[in-house]
Amino acid sequence: MTTPELTSLGSICISRRAIATLASHAAQASYGVVGMAAHRMIDTWISPLARDPRQGVQVTIDADGLILDIYVVLEYGLRITTVTRSMADAVQYRVQRAFGVPVRAVHVHVQGLRVSNPD
């Protein structure tokens, strides 16, 4: 949980789960992302795509803001650096805008590539 923010009506506390859910939705909406992956390699071998999309996001909170680690499977044939940079920017923008908490870094970990259309 993040540190509570006091307002005139009470305190506001944002959970890691809420941050991970929003980050996951932003990542999945990015072009070239097939799905979220588990952050441990053994889990990726058992099931390449995570059932719960929040499993593909780890949230670390420090004094300067949030650090997000995102684990994804990308579409084969696309430029990986372009897709990951675009996705990282989209995730950072949506999380900062929704929660008002600075995102210090977004680390994208590509766990695999998937061919959607073999033709």
Residue 54 dihedral angles phi and psi, to the nearest 5°: -70, -20
Beta strands in the chain (DSSP E): 5-7, 10-12, 33-36, 57-62, 65-75, 103-114
Please, are residues 74 and 114 in contact by the beta-carbon 8 Å criterion? Answer: yes
Q: Is the pTM of this model over 0.85?
A: no
Residue 8 has pLDDT above 90, yes or no: no
Q: Tens of pLDDT along 30-78?
A: 999 998 988 765 554 555 554 565 678 999 998 889 999 999 999 999 9
- In the chain, the domains with their CATH numbers are 5-114 (3.30.70.1350)
Nearby residues of 92 by Cβ (< 8 Å), 6 or more positions away: 68, 103, 106
